[in-house]
Amino acid sequence: MPEAILEIRDLKVSFRTFSGRVQAVDIQSLAVLPQEILGLVGETGSGKSVTASTVLRLLPERKAIVEGGPVLFKGQDLLAKTEAEMRKIRGREIAMIFQDPMSSLNPVFTVGEPLTRIIAIHQGVSLKEARERALAALGRVRLPNPDKILGSYPHELSGGMRQRVMIGMALSSNPDLLFADEPTTALDVTIQAQILRLIDDLRHEIKASIVFITHNLGVIAKVSDRVAVMYAGNVIEVGPTRDIFHRPAHPYTGLLLKAIPRLGETRDKLPVIEGAVPVIRRPETGCYFHPRCPRRDDACREARPVLAPIGPGHYAACGKPA
Ligand SMILES: Nc1ncnc2c1ncn2[C@@H]1O[C@H](COP(=O)(O)OP(=O)(O)O)[C@@H](O)[C@H]1O
Ligand SMILES: [Mg+2]
């Protein structure tokens, strides 16, 4: 296996809340390989966004408790970096795009202002040169009339166009790693397909690794090279996309596959999987999934399974894999 660009080991993240400490992430291991698209999938509340925020060190400092690690990015532990060091990495070497581009674009400024400013700061060029690069960035995400778009206000653009602007902005610094957190969830199905096609197209140009976060396994079937499935904060199965879809080893992955909405159907919740979201309750002992698992037996109540090899590059944390 090629050396990972990002490698997470034994990472635990919890939050101090009024009702006590809530565990959000408990990952034994997760790697992102160079120039791959990794789909990070799981129900709402399974810890996907917290994982990305931990890597980028964007968690609320007083509320979040990060334990374990390391979180190695190109061999260096991000958990050991100072805020000043992180500021150099964030937005340059590691970029992030979010579900709702409206919330990241300030409605009182034209699209061009933050875009040009960020490029000028991150790439150390004049505003004039930054504007040229902004135009190029918009062209790269296949936006027609980049000049006109730079002068538009966010509300004048469609949701799909705004997301293209955000992708262009995120890629303008040529990052090595891009987190895309539910980037198509707020878009309708047709636009969603266009954005996925764009990401698939761009991967050959940008040479970045992309972690594509989604609660819908169906969304990443076509674009991802590998899929990592999260449950209750842990990665419980990871493998080549083909194997995850055709030979899921963990019962939870099997249920996620059954829950993929059919074309044209929109669902917020996964219908077949019952239980509490967004706070996923964990049993005291055994496999976190055993209370909801159709395949459980007594052993599943006792020991917590660790990721074990199922096939080439395919791992599952289950005592009774398929
Ligand atoms: N700022 C926070 N304070 C308290 N709990 C949080 C906070 N952010 C996330 N959580 C909890 O962490 C868990 C994982 O959340 P998240 O990573 O956002 O899930 P996902 O992105 O998979 O939907 C959830 O149970 C959520 O309630
Ligand atoms: Mg999320």
Predicted confidence (pLDDT) per residue in 212-241, tens digit: 999 989 889 989 999 999 999 999 999 999
pLDDT value at 199 more than 80: yes
The residue whose CB lies within 8 Å of the most ligand 1 atoms, and thus the one to mutate among 8, 22, 25, 48, is: 22
CA distances for 229 relative to 7, 153, 235, 252, 262, angstroms: 16, 37, 6, 9, 20
Q: What is the pLDDT of residue 271?
A: 46
pLDDT value at 266 more than 70: no
Residue 261: other Cβ atoms inside 10 A: 16
Q: What is the pLDDT of residue 101?
A: 67
**Rg (Cα) of the chain, in Å, rounded?**
20
CATH number of 6-83+188-316: 3.40.50.300
pLDDT tens-digit map of 5-36: 999 999 999 999 988 899 999 999 999 999 99
Ligand 2 geometric centre to CA of 50 (Å): 7
Q: Contact, 134 vs 150, CB < 8 A?
A: yes
Supply the residue whose CA is at minimum distance from atom 11 of ligand 1.
Answer: 24
Supply the residue whose CA is at minimum distance from atom 13 of ligand 1.
Answer: 24
Ligand nearest to the CA of 44: 1
Angle at 89 between CA 226 and CA 123, to 5 degrees: 110
Q: Contact, 257 vs 67, CB < 8 A?
A: no
Q: What is the pLDDT of residue 104?
A: 72
pLDDT value at 102 more than 80: no
- Ligand 1 lining (C-beta closer than 6 Å): 15, 17, 22, 24, 42, 44-50, 60, 63, 278-279
B/e letters for 225-259, b = 16+ CB within 10 Å, e = fewer, are bbbbbbbbbbbbbbbbbebbbeebbbbbbbbbbeb
The span from the first CA to the last CA of the chain, in angstroms, equals: 24
In whole angstroms, give the CA distance from residue 111 to residue 275: 42
Higher pLDDT, 268 or 35: 35
Residue 276: band (very low, low, confident or very high) from pLDDT cuts 50, 70, 90: very low
Which atom of ligand 1 lies at the shortest distance from residue 59's CA?
Answer: 1
Region 50-67: mean pLDDT is 96
pLDDT value at 315 more than 70: yes
The residue whose CB lies within 8 Å of the most ligand 1 atoms, and thus the one to mutate among 8, 12, 14, 15, is: 15
Q: Give me the chain's average pLDDT, please.
A: 89
Q: What is the pLDDT of residue 274?
A: 44
